[in-house]
């Protein structure tokens, strides 16, 4: 079975999906804009062939090059797990006659306004919203929707270039910062707790789902540098307070026509219990949340995803054993990391609950915290009890410090 996999070397989780495909018996044909020599070793080891293209965004050129490269070889699947290449995957499926979601279906997962229009028509609660491609249109949307507002790129990924706006002066400032973004969605700001609804789905049937809780919500975490953001994969996904999110998530997948693979949805639960849709991607979550799922259930979601896209089924019976917390750390100061404080305490207090320590070492250049949630590294821990998980996560947030100069 030949499977084309787009961008096998980036983002950092992609080589694990390449490994999953090879593990279940697929011949993985990678297509990306990195030289083969620059691919991570795990990706190189599990690829059967690789085509380097000049630019992944040039869809017409990539389709032409892939056709020539394949010759008469038959392809069973075309897969992308990156926000920026899911549409290219759809174009390749149509060009090669490969089953899977086509361009029109995938567009609804990329265009945030179109996405909400489809869900509005299905009777689901979304934030009030309006598409805008000029400053004037943004001002008109603000007048119609009312403050506070959220401004975000139509085809963005995650919370990048997303702004909360509470006054006309803040809108004026946000428009300056979004000057290079051609089109935005102007939306009602929803005040509430923010969660995910992530799925492994086969032919429209959800075989596994994960719910993660953002502490604090990403927009706050992207605004305050001193915050150590937490993502908590919850053990009890059937808790009463989460039922509305699960019900909405299943309806969203049906309304958008998702077929097979990973999805990542974000949703809000307001103080009065109302559930509101956020957005959804036809891809897995980033920032190592797939690893969280593996640690929560002691299974290999990379391989299970591969079985789903190749054979339409999962092999593993999932047992939810742990809550899993990832705490992301940001160094204080600028330049290179010169000191890490509190790590011995964290190791001692967490004990066996500490399952992954991934911090930048002393001497490494500090990352730009505005460009990556992973920031300067993270601590990943797990525990069966949610309250204890939160206590340990808060200990990491308050007692572990990285310093740069």
**CATH T-level assignment (fold) for domain 128-188:** Dna Ligase; domain 1 (3.30.1490)
Q: What is the pTM of this model?
A: 0.92
Mean of all residue pLDDT scores within the chain: 95
pLDDT single digits (tens) 362-403: 999 999 998 888 999 999 999 999 999 999 999 999 999 999
Which CATH number is 191-321's, of 3.40.190.10, 3.40.50.300, 2.60.40.650, 3.30.470.20? 3.30.470.20
pLDDT single digits (tens) 266-308: 999 999 999 999 999 999 999 999 999 999 999 999 999 999 9
Confidence at residue 179, expressed as pLDDT on a 0 to 100 scale: 84
- DSSP H helices, 39-85, are 41-46, 59-70
Confidence at residue 180, expressed as pLDDT on a 0 to 100 scale: 85
CB 31 within 8 A of CB 4: yes
Q: For residue 204, what are its two tokens?
A: 């429209």
Give the residue ranges of the chain where pLDDT is below 50: none
The beta-strand segments (E) located in 225-346 are 230-233, 261-269, 275-281, 323-328, 337-341
**CATH T-level assignment (fold) for domain 2-100:** Rossmann fold (3.40.50)
Confidence at residue 97, expressed as pLDDT on a 0 to 100 scale: 96
| DSSP string of 90-132, one letter each residue | HHHHHHHT-SS--HHHHHHHH-HHHHHHHHHHTT-----EEEE
281: nearest Cα among 121, 106, 43: 106
Confidence at residue 372, expressed as pLDDT on a 0 to 100 scale: 86
How far is the C-alpha of 54 from the C-alpha of 36, rounded, in Å? 13
Residue 85, beta-bridge partner list: none
Q: Which helix (H) or strand (E) holds 403?
A: strand 401-404
How far is the C-alpha of 270 from the C-alpha of 247, rounded, in Å? 16
Residue 360's φ and ψ, nearest 5 degrees, are -60, 140
């Amino acid at each position: 079975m030949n499977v084309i996999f787009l961008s096998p070397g980036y983002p950092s989780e992609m080589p694990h999906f390449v490994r999953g495909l090879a593990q279940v018996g697929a011949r993985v044909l990678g297509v990306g804009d990195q030289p083969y020599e620059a691919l991570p070793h795990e990706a190189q080891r599990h690829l059967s062939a690789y085509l380097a293209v000049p630019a992944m965004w040039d869809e017409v050129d990539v389709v032409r090059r892939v056709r020539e490269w394949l010759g008469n070889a038959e392809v069973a699947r075309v897969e992308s797990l990156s926000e920026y290449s899911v549409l290219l995957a759809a174009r390749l499926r149509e060009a090669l006659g490969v089953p899977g979601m086509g361009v029109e279906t995938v567009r609804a997962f990329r265009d945030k306004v179109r996405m909400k229009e489809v869900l509005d028509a299905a009777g689901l609660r979304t934030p009030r919203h309006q598409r805008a491609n000029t400053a004037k249109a943004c001002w008109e949307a603000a007048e119609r929707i009312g403050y506070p507002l959220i401004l975000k790129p139509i085809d963005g990924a995650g919370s990048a270039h997303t702004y909360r706006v509470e006054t006309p002066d803040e809108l004026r400032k946000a428009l300056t910062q979004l000057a290079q973004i051609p089109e935005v969605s102007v939306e009602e700001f929803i005040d509430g707790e923010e969660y995910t609804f992530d799925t492994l789905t086969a032919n429209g049937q959800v075989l596994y789902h994960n719910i993660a809780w953002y502490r604090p919500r990403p927009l706050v975490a992207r605004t305050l540098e001193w915050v150590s953001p937490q993502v908590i994969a919850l053990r009890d996904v059937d808790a009463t307070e989460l039922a509305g999110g699960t019900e909405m998530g299943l309806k969203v997948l049906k309304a958008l026509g998702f077929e097979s693979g990973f999805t990542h949805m974000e949703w809000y639960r307001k103080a009065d219990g109302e559930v509101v849709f956020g957005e959804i991607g036809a891809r897995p979550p980033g920032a190592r949340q797939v690893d969280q799922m593996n640690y929560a259930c002691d299974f290999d979601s990379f391989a299970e995803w591969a079985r789903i896209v190749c054979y339409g089924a999962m092999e593993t019976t999932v047992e939810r054993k742990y809550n899993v917390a990832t705490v992301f750390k940001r160094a204080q100061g600028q330049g290179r990391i010169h000191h890490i404080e509190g790590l011995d305490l964290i190791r001692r207090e967490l004990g066996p609950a500490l399952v992954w320590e991934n911090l930048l070492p002393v001497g490494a250049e500090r990352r730009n915290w505005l460009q990556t949630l992973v920031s300067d590294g993270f601590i990943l821990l797990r525990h069966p009890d949610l309250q204890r998980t939160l206590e340990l996560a808060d200990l990491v947030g308050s007692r572990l410090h990285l310093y740069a100069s």
